[in-house]
Structure 1
Amino acid sequence: MITHLHKKLITPLRTFLEDSRSAGILLMVCTAVSLVLANLTPTGQAYVGWWTRDVFGKIVQGHLPDSAEGWINDVWMSFFFFFVGAEIKREMLQGELASIRRSLLPVLAALGGMLFPALIYTLFNHDTLYHHGWGIPMATDIAFSLGVLSLLGKRVPVQLKIFLMALAIIDDLGAVVTIALFYASDLHTGYLLLAGGIVGLLALCNGMKVKHPGIYFLLGGVLWWSLFHSGVHPTIAGVALGFALPLSRLDQVEYFLHKPVHFVILPLFALANTAVVFPHSGEEILHSTIGMGVMLGLFVGKPLGIFFSSFIATRVGVASLPSQTSYRQLLGAGMLGGIGFTMSIFTTSLAFHTADVQAVAKLSILLGSLCSAIFGYLYLYGLARQTRTRIPETPSYPAIQEEFAVSVA
């Protein structure tokens, strides 16, 4: 009986948790559920309002976030940003970003993929009250984009997956820098000085080769608290912690946090941040400068920026195409780069503070990301049918990371 239950339930669940596509699929499901609850149920307004209701204020009295959405976005997402910092550090030391020659193509492609969407958004909003949202369409969601690409299986080369992963990692770094520099408000010098001191202590611990993760996370907690009161978004503490933790301890900590982050925190983030009510008419989005800037920034700006930057870099000889890939495949990867979701929605919460404006921006992100996913998948699928090539598949994140290590060796 137990063996039968293990085969029927536990084994498929474990397979689901270990599948690289699962995080993206779960995010899609949570997004759909949240939109249905907000728009198609009698309790929709109560559901939307609960996430932002002051449910902790009497307990924390301003020293910590006071709503469920605040705890998710400010506290729990710091662990996601720890993964971002850790992944960037790993690739800078061991992977595709370890040498200038190896990293130049995804770096330049990521820069183009950030610049073009920001410019398109600015074209629509430069003379409006919403010009501050130019950072929203700049980001690529790693889980979603690689999840969609992995659905193509053997139809795309693993080198294209590595290129997209490296590009998305650099993209995340750009998003982190953008948040730190341009989306801080009401800066408080005392807390900033305290945060700077903690960052110095983290660097000192790293330099002295302190290996116990608990010391780093204790300092990271103090850093988070000081940043929370400084005006700089506190999730930057997660990035700093990811950079500070010794490389020899990253695997251990990432293994421990992987499932809670990707299968609890990110789904909760999706539920909380897509709890938005559809406008009475779709024209409200299509006629909105925010909506057009975000959707076209993701759907048009991303592939154009990624492709043209890559094309120019390879043509002038400063970088080379990944092996077994073509310019047409890079264009398809650029289309999938328009899947913004996590970082784009996160930036929306920092750029705008009015619920109606946030709703338009978030729905525009969903539409732009959905179009990018569908058109990118269909384009690469059709391209594979034309070439009729089948290349060994490496769909999972661990396998892609192993390919990084092999390329370095």
Structure 2
Amino acid sequence: MTDVEITARPEEGGGRSESGQRGRRHSIAEKVGSVGQQRLGALMLLLATVAAIVWANAAAGSYASFWETHLQLGVGELHLEFTLHALVNDALMAIFFFTVGLEVRREFAIGELTSWSRALVPVVAAVVGLAIPALLFLLIAGPSGEGRAWGVVISTDTAFLVGALALVGPRVPGRLRVFLLALAVVDDIGALSIIALVYTGDFTPLPLVVAAVGLAGIFATRYLRMGRGLVYGTLAVIVWLAFLASGVHPTLAGVAIALMVPVYRPNRRDVEHALDVARTFRQSPNSEYARAAANSLRESISINERLQSAYGPYVAFVILPLFALANAGVLLTPDILAAALTSSLTWGIVAGLVLGKFLGVFGASAVMKLLHVGEFGAGLTLDRIAGGAVLCGIGFTISLFIVDLAIDDPGAQNEARVGVLVASVIAFAVATIVFRISDALHPDEDTGQVLARPVDPKRDHVYGTDTARYEIVEYGDFQCPFCSKASGVIQDVRERLGDDVRYVWRHAPLVDQHPNALAGAEAAEAAARQGRFWEFERGLFADQDNQLPSDIVRLAGALGLDVPQFERDLQSAEVTARVRDDMLDAEAMGITSVPTFFINGRRHTGPYDARSLLRALQQTDAEPNTTPRS
């Protein structure tokens, strides 16, 4: 094998372009939409809050009278009567809780909470982060007679949390974002359970029997071939009305309905069918084939994820701002501010949200990291967890929601709302400072120069012996032509050094440039579960132009894999998480192009032909290895 100098630069295209960087970042920021959408949603929520406060203080009478406007809906003797305020809090917020339930369902089915070892850290941090704020609140505000309002301080506002993280978070937020989102899901489960158990009014069990039947119908609707949307909608209304009649807060109907909606990863056969129909439409474009193609593409995605995509923008840009407009209108007169300043209720809420959430989330995480319990990935350092823990003190939406449920006295409600607003501002400001300090502790010049996660033979794909003097770690993409050439260079290096060098592959697929790269990475992990990673890697590099789902399954069959098991593994959350972990590590180290090499734990710059890699390896003889080996 000859030495061929490979020096691809970002401007030369291939696997090292800026569009590739954008592609990978988009794939990592899954589940919550784009950063721009997160920021816009948080901004609209903030503007609605400011508008509510200005309206309530500029024209208190009109603010209160507007939201107390009565509406009556019904036919004949059957009718419902609502105020506008109740319509927002009981009906529209049911849609918000529905989207929360969809996310909870997804996380437990195919997301971060499928594996106990992966979920342990955010789950424990969330549970402790629910308990300590409540205890702190009761300690401070219990004597005020409003101890029942302890639920105000338990929950983090996910919308503000994600938006604030996008605005003021660390330079490399990927791993922290995943941690906080998993934590927020558990936090939401706890808050919803407390609303159901503690803040339910007069309870009537019989309507819940009707709700149970309706929920069973929603579960069975997945088996209908046509007309599912109408059936889902009708049954959802029935379930909501049954919850309303039972005395259980009707917003919880949204959660119950969401848990009945199926979620799954796209099936290969459904994807292939959608591609076939799309090809037919391309050959004969007409309205019939267009509808068939659209239906096939839609049906290849689970109902859960389709509903999240459909309702997400309405929740972020309409429902939550309306809720803020209807609930954040706190009077800020001198008398009310003076009363809040000396109110144990107000300070109990501020202390519970700001201090309690920080102590619970950060304290639990720090103890687990100290005891080496649970998984902490690259970039999830304690200083960044500290910033995220402070952000968890933004308890806006559910906090204001519970204020209305737990407190009857209007004066005390005002004091509580002041506490929620003050706590949210303090949490945002302090988190900004913590993140800036965190970034100062991780300056740009050091980012990514050292391998963030040491090689672990039990986890990583290692070619060579554990006793090798040298180590090459590559972050690559199976559709990148430069990575394919680099694989030949690695073989040349190994031929010259033999067992003195071991080679490690990690995934960094550039999905914008290479649409099938992520599927290839997951397929290689599925093959690894049958002990055939390296054979599958060579097969992918040998045919980079044909890596559609059918091509991948065909390769598995040609290599003698158990194809049904391979296809099941392709659908597994473990395989998805394994690839995503590598991608998050790559983001934490600022890897924006592939292939990227680490030589004995240090990032390699410059050409990566065999002669250059050999020279870089030999130069490390005089230097200590910067990363310990597992």
Higher share in strand:
2
In structure 1, the residue matched to 2:71 is 56
In structure 2, the residue matched to 1:350 is 405
Residue identity matched to 1:361: A
In structure 1, the residue matched to 2:53 is 35
Per the TM alignment, residue 253 of structure 1 is displaced from its structure 2 partner at its CA by: 1.9
Count matched residues.
383
Per the TM alignment, residue 29 of structure 1 is displaced from its structure 2 partner at its CA by: 0.6
Gapped runs of 5+ residues in structure 1?
Answer: 1-14, 393-398
Residue identity matched to 1:258: G
Counterpart secondary structure, 1:187: coil
In structure 2, the residue matched to 1:8 is none
Higher relative contact order (CA closer than 8 Å, sequence separation 6+): 1
* Structure 1 residues 167-316: aligned runs within 5 Å: 167-205=183-221, 208=223, 212-247=228-263, 248-281=302-335, 282-316=337-371
Q: Are residues 74 and 36 of structure 1, via their aligned partners in 2, closer, same or farther at CA, if it must alter by over 3 Å?
A: same
* Contact 1:85/1:240 (<8 A) preserved: yes
Residue identity matched to 1:251: E
Counterpart secondary structure, 2:38: coil
Per the TM alignment, residue 205 of structure 1 is displaced from its structure 2 partner at its CA by: 4.1
Counterpart secondary structure, 2:356: helix
* Contact 1:156/1:384 (<8 A) preserved: no
| In 2, Cα distance between equivalents of 1:377 and 1:249 | 37
* Contact 1:149/1:377 (<8 A) preserved: no
* Structure 1 residues 17-166: aligned runs within 5 Å: 19-39=37-57, 41=58, 43-53=59-69, 55-57=70-72, 63-152=79-168, 155-166=171-182
Whether 2:445 is the aligned partner of 1:378: answer no
Per the TM alignment, residue 350 of structure 1 is displaced from its structure 2 partner at its CA by: 1.1
Q: Deviations over 1:46-75 (max 9, x none)?
A: 12332124x215879995352111000000
Q: Deviations over 1:179-233 (max 9, x none)?
A: 0111101101222322233233334445x57782432232111111011111100
In structure 2, the residue matched to 1:7 is none
Q: Are residues 58 and 323 of structure 1, via their aligned partners in 2, closer, same or farther at CA, if it must alter by over 3 Å?
A: closer
Residue identity matched to 1:326: T
| In 2, Cα distance between equivalents of 1:26 and 1:142 | 14
| In 1, Cα distance between equivalents of 2:220 and 2:434 | 49
* Contact 2:137/2:349 (<8 A) preserved: yes
Residue identity matched to 2:236: G
In structure 1, the residue matched to 2:577 is 407
Higher share in helix:
1
Counterpart secondary structure, 1:20: helix
Q: Are residues 154 and 183 of structure 1, via their aligned partners in 2, closer, same or farther at CA, if it must alter by over 3 Å?
A: closer
Runs of 4+ aligned residues of structure 1 deviating over 6 Å after TM superposition are 58-62, 402-405
Taking only the aligned residue pairs, the percentage that are identical comes to 32
Per the TM alignment, residue 349 of structure 1 is displaced from its structure 2 partner at its CA by: 1.3
* Contact 1:118/1:137 (<8 A) preserved: yes
Whether 2:424 is the aligned partner of 1:369: answer yes
In structure 1, the residue matched to 2:482 is none
Counterpart secondary structure, 2:65: helix
Q: Are residues 346 and 408 of structure 1, via their aligned partners in 2, closer, same or farther at CA, if it must alter by over 3 Å?
A: farther
- Which TM-score applies when normalising by structure 1? 0.87
Q: Are residues 51 and 327 of structure 1, via their aligned partners in 2, closer, same or farther at CA, if it must alter by over 3 Å?
A: same
Q: Which structure: larger Rg?
A: 2
Q: Deviations over 1:280-334 (max 9, x none)?
A: 2423112212101111101100011001111222333331323222112111110
Q: Are residues 154 and 326 of structure 1, via their aligned partners in 2, closer, same or farther at CA, if it must alter by over 3 Å?
A: closer
- Which TM-score applies when normalising by structure 2? 0.57
Farther off after superposition, 364-373 or 282-291: 282-291
Q: Are residues 62 and 376 of structure 1, via their aligned partners in 2, closer, same or farther at CA, if it must alter by over 3 Å?
A: farther
